[in-house]
Amino acid sequence: MQIRARLGISADGYVTTPNGWPAQTADPAFASGQSHGIREFLADCEAALTGRTTFEPALTNSRWPWPDLDVFVLGSRRPEGTPDHVTTDSDPVRLLEKVRAANRGGDVHLIGGPRTIGTFHALGALDRLELVVVPMLFGGGMRLTPALSPDAGLTFLSQRALPGGSVEIVYSCTGSREDLPDKPASQR
């Protein structure tokens, strides 16, 4: 089992638009549940792990976003209308134990904003960070850091161009980053 966060990011580094929507939803090529490589990504996943803020809008969607996945929600309360099959817990350690206990060998899609992703990274539970860089500049919005520590060790795994001009970049999250140099490489 690998826990994999996948999120869109603008070319200028924002994971949300200035009004809070996920970056990929601003891309004219976006089609919910279909574009930006999401189908291929979800093919290896058996569960969704999300924060309450990201989860709650799904309760009013015309289409349940995780029809074939076990769903686990990190939140201090169980939102009204939450289906019975969804597991909720306010403690990230307990919720992670529940995810692992229920796992049948597939991967887990970690969905959420920087705070949720940072929480599970701090627990050592984030195995992969998958970014879909959309060909847009937002000039504002939410950044992945500082909630995800800049000390995170990222090891490049792969990249691929996606239809519509986006680029998928996949990193392993093992290890920690070395100190940043005080001078550019060309001046050392």
Contact call for residues 40 and 109 (beta carbons, < 8 A)? no
Q: What is the pLDDT of residue 31?
A: 83
Helix axes 92-102, 114-122, angle to 10 degrees: 80
CB-count burial class (<10 Å; 0-12, 13-18, 19+) for 62: exposed
Q: Which helix (H) or strand (E) holds 155?
A: strand 155-161
Residue type, position 26, single letter: A
Strand order in the sheet with 167-172: 87-89, 70-74, 45-51, 107-111, 3-10, 128-134, 167-172, 155-161
Q: Is the predicted pLDDT of residue 61 greater than 70, yes or no?
A: yes
Convert the pLDDT of each residue in 151-169 to its tens digit: 778 899 999 999 889 999 9
Confidence grade of residue 5 (pLDDT, cut at 50, 70, 90)? very high
* pTM exceeding 0.85: yes
Convert the pLDDT of each residue in 99-138 to its tens digit: 999 999 999 999 988 889 989 988 989 999 999 999 999 9
